[in-house]
Amino acid sequence: MRRSFPFLLAAMLLLSGCSGNTESISQTAEATEESSDILVTEEAVTTPVVTTTSQPVSEETTSTVPETAETDETIETAETIEPVPEIQLPSMDGSTSAIPLEAGLRAELLDITYTEALSQVEHTKTHTSFQCLLDGEVDLIFTVPISAEQQGMADAAGVELISVPVAKEGFVFVVNKDNPVESLTQQQIRDIYSGRITNWKEVGGNDAEIIAYQRNADSGSQNYMVEFMGDVPLTQAETELYATGMGGLMDRIALYDNSVDAIGYSVYSYAAQMYANENAVKFIEVDGIAPAKETMADNSYPLCSETYIMFTDKADDITRDFTDWVTSDEGQLCVLRSGYLPVNGMEIPAEYMPYSAVGTGKPKPADYKPSEKYQYAGTYQDEFFGTRGGGYYYIKGLTDDEFEEQINADIKEAQDHIMQFAPDMTGCTDSYMIDMCKLAFNADSINGYLSIKLSYWTPDVNIDYMSAYPYGCYEHAVSLVYDLVEQKRITEFSDLFYEGEDFVPMLNNAFAEHADMYAIDTDIEKKSDFSGLLGDVEVFTLDGVCLNENNSYFNGMPLLSFDHCDPIKDSMVIWEYRDCTGIFDSTIYLNDYPAQEFVYGYYDVEGVKFEKYESSRFHTQEELDKLNEDYHTLQMKLLEYYKSIGTIPFRFNISYGQNLYMNSWDRYDAYSLVYFDADTLEPLAPEELLCENWRNYFDEELRDEISFVHFMDPDDIDEITIFAEYPVRDEYGEPTGGFRGASAIIPRSALNPRYFGKTAE
């Protein structure tokens, strides 16, 4: 459907001679079944207008071969020269809340990523964009309902406004996640914003003054607020309680001093896309109904409204055709994929509704306590599976032969199913791509539970398999999960969680964080910001979930992991320690599976994401506070270091060694490692970290020029591999600007015992 309109509309525009105030984005022509010389009449047009950079080609010119003296050579006819079409979109502006909507529509029509589309969107906010529309500077705006003052401006200018609803919207009230108040009535909210209620204890919260933020008078959300208050006068807020931008208001509620006592308002789609999964703010229930896609779809949420496309009676065909497309079934499906709800009454497909579930596993023990670190039995994967004739995978090593045979029969059935999706590599000579497109088999066992995943990788996806994100992105995937102790297959993801456990919010928070890292650390194409699992969970493992095919967020099925999130682990049946003796025979190597020690969060410092310890199963709050103090100091030192070398990282990638912090700002750049002493938090020169004579372990001709890069420190050997680099020189001995790598092995005993004192056991 995405590419169904360009050539029809190109012909329409060329025949009608349309121009107008438009934005033009080039797009490579796609092959179609129609020949290039078919004429299409204006009546055929039902979608946004498209034009080309060249003049229309007449029937005569498409059938005539140009004269040339070089008759022996192949002649390229005019009909083989396809003009590059340009999609003509109206010039657009609007409210902040509609930025994700325009980005989603652009991504669909221009066949570009959501991130690319987002970079093209510039909204000057509600009031300014409305003035731009009146002045004829833009063709249309995305807007919430306008105020009486704005309507008066249009009347005074003699401009007739046309408003077309294109997406459902909800007006929501937002508080800090640590505010104990979950629900307010409409009357209580009006009393708060009229000054009648001034303390949270009056509505069941803390004994603290309510800090009620408002938006500036010319904002769209302020229009909503004035309409919501009705005849109840809105209190005049102090200047510092006005937020000039939607993001500024949300940040004040999430981050600033006294934020736990703050309240503000927004529109649902913007807040859900941009902030809901950061686990810093939460939506207040209104009259006991939480704002969500479900409650807005059935209109049970009491503060529903709509987002409009608004243009004037002077709008050209491009603007009107674009609006017609947005309100069509195809356009409304795009609205849905962009994180909004359609207004045309279409039935919302189940795969676009938020995933909703509670745990359906066994009841959680009343005396449940977090298990200690390193208490989980796992398997060494290479010893656990093999392949048989015909390339079929199988597992081995279970003591119960009958149950093992049942599992292998399930694997064969699943493999037969997924092999029909094998990528066609005919003619491919790239051995790397051929290897990547082979069927992948992954098996993992934790604490007597087994998960198996069969998958084909998404072509052309670049993933660092030595990174912390080796989960991949798949074109197709299937999974099998078993309880090896109870000898049964687990078919529902919710069965992995204790009965009644509300695990989905935690899961969405963990996945939102991981989805952001995916977009940064790989080149997986992102379509929209992650705002929660949609549809049912079909492919899952013991520590992750594959997004469904045709999901709203990525092109492909990335496996998002929640392995780093301990609160989720404590909600799962698989992390309660149990005796797994006798499941595996002696040919399977069992190893300890470590529990994650911390739950991490992030905060912003000068545009860099600093990491912090949110909580821990094994540390007191006092210990966490001290760790965070040291961690902040360390990250500030890292920031200053990278500033000094002219690099500003997006975030830090810090790991811990023996009395040592190691950091790389880019996980793909091994040459950015910096080492800090864990106590002093001071950077270490190689002579301090390694030993005074570390250069002597390299070839003599390199010693004067090498620079230390990093070391590899396996725990099971007494030798350490040191990596360095040296400049490449030309035939005249001059540096070319390039570098080559070198390595050397140094006995652990020769290195600084503070950082290398471990010995092989």
Confidence of residue 78 (pLDDT cuts 50, 70, 90): very low
Confidence of residue 19 (pLDDT cuts 50, 70, 90): very low
Give me the mean pLDDT over the 186-199 stretch.
94
Measure CA 286 to chain center: 29
Q: Output DSSP code: residue 65.
A: P
The residues near 645 (Cβ < 8 Å, ≥ 6 apart) are: none
Give me the mean pLDDT over the 690-699 stretch.
94
Measured over the CA atoms of residue 155, residue 159, residue 165 and residue 171, the dihedral's sign is negative
Q: What pLDDT does 35 receive?
A: 31
The letter for the amino acid at 419 is M
What angle do helix axes 220-229 and 186-194 make, rounded to 10 degrees? 110
Is residue 57 predicted with pLDDT exceeding 60? no
Is residue 468 predicted with pLDDT exceeding 60? no
pLDDT cut 70: percent of the chain above it: 72
The letter for the amino acid at 511 is F
Give the separation between CA 363 and CA 591, rounded to whole angstroms: 28
Q: What pLDDT does 273 receive?
A: 59
Q: What is the pLDDT of residues 557-600, one digit of tens each?
A: 888 888 766 678 888 998 876 777 778 876 665 555 455 567 67
Give me the mean pLDDT over the 622-626 stretch.
88
Give the separation between CA 614 and CA 607, rounded to whole angstroms: 20
Task: Select the more confidently predicted residue: 175 or 461.
Answer: 175
Give the separation between CA 631 and CA 613, rounded to whole angstroms: 9
Q: What pLDDT does 405 receive?
A: 95
Q: What pLDDT does 740 receive?
A: 86
Q: What pLDDT does 603 receive?
A: 82
The CA distances from residue 297 to 100, 169, 330, 705, in Å, are 19, 10, 18, 67
Q: Output DSSP code: residue 755.
A: H
Confidence of residue 523 (pLDDT cuts 50, 70, 90): low
Task: Select the more confidently predicted residue: 81 or 543.
Answer: 543
Q: What are phi and psi of 363, to 5 degrees?
A: -60, 145
**Strongest mean pLDDT among 6-10, 166-170, 373-377, 437-441:** 166-170
User: Residues 10, 12, 14, 19: what is their CA dihedral angle, to the nearest 10 degrees?
Assistant: -90
Q: What pLDDT does 99 receive?
A: 86
Structural element, H or E, at residue 625:
helix 621-644
Is residue 434 predicted with pLDDT exceeding 80? no
3-class DSSP assignment, residue 171: strand
Q: What is the pLDDT of residues 392-431, one digit of tens each?
A: 889 888 889 999 999 999 999 999 999 888 877 777 776 7
What token pair was written down for 28? 């490579």
The CA distances from residue 456 to 174, 417, 527, 563, in Å, are 42, 12, 20, 22
What token pair was written down for 136? 């004829």
What token pair was written down for 147? 């105020």
Confidence of residue 25 (pLDDT cuts 50, 70, 90): very low
Q: What pLDDT does 66 receive?
A: 40
Give the separation between CA 446 and CA 449, rounded to whole angstroms: 5
Q: What pLDDT does 188 receive?
A: 96
Mean pLDDT of the chain: 76
Give the separation between CA 439 and CA 352, rounded to whole angstroms: 29
How large is the C-alpha radius of gyration of the chain?
Answer: 31
Is residue 241 predicted with pLDDT exceeding 70? no
pTM: 0.57
Is residue 513 predicted with pLDDT exceeding 90? no
Q: What is the pLDDT of residues 487-509, one digit of tens each?
A: 999 999 999 999 999 999 888 88
Give me the mean pLDDT over the 85-95 stretch.
84
Task: Select the more confidently predicted residue: 166 or 677.
Answer: 166
Is residue 152 predicted with pLDDT exceeding 90? yes
Is residue 482 predicted with pLDDT exceeding 90? yes
Burial of 490 (0-12, 13-18, 19+ CB in 10 A): buried
Please check whether residue 319 is in contact with residue 139, taking contact to mean a CB–CB distance below 8 angstroms: yes
Is residue 276 predicted with pLDDT exceeding 80? no
Q: What pLDDT does 34 receive?
A: 34
Task: Select the more confidently predicted residue: 336 or 416.
Answer: 416
Is residue 221 predicted with pLDDT exceeding 80? no
Give the separation between CA 562 and CA 570, rounded to whole angstroms: 12
Q: What is the pLDDT of residues 26-56, one digit of tens each?
A: 333 333 333 333 233 333 334 454 443 333 3
H-state helical runs in 198-316: 220-229, 246-254, 268-274, 293-297
Going along the chain from its start, the domains and CATH numbers come out as: 1-90 (no CATH), 169-304 (3.40.190.10), 376-593 (no CATH), 685-761 (no CATH)
Q: Output DSSP code: residue 534.
A: B
695, β-bridge pairs? none
Task: Select the more confidently predicted residue: 86 or 312.
Answer: 312
What token pair was written down for 735? 């540096």
The residue count of the chain comes to 761
Confidence of residue 67 (pLDDT cuts 50, 70, 90): very low
pLDDT cut 90: percent of the chain above it: 27
Q: Which residues of 447-485 are buried (b: 16+ CB within 10 A; e: fewer)?
A: bbbbbbbbbbbbeebebeeeeebebbbbbbbbbbbbbbe
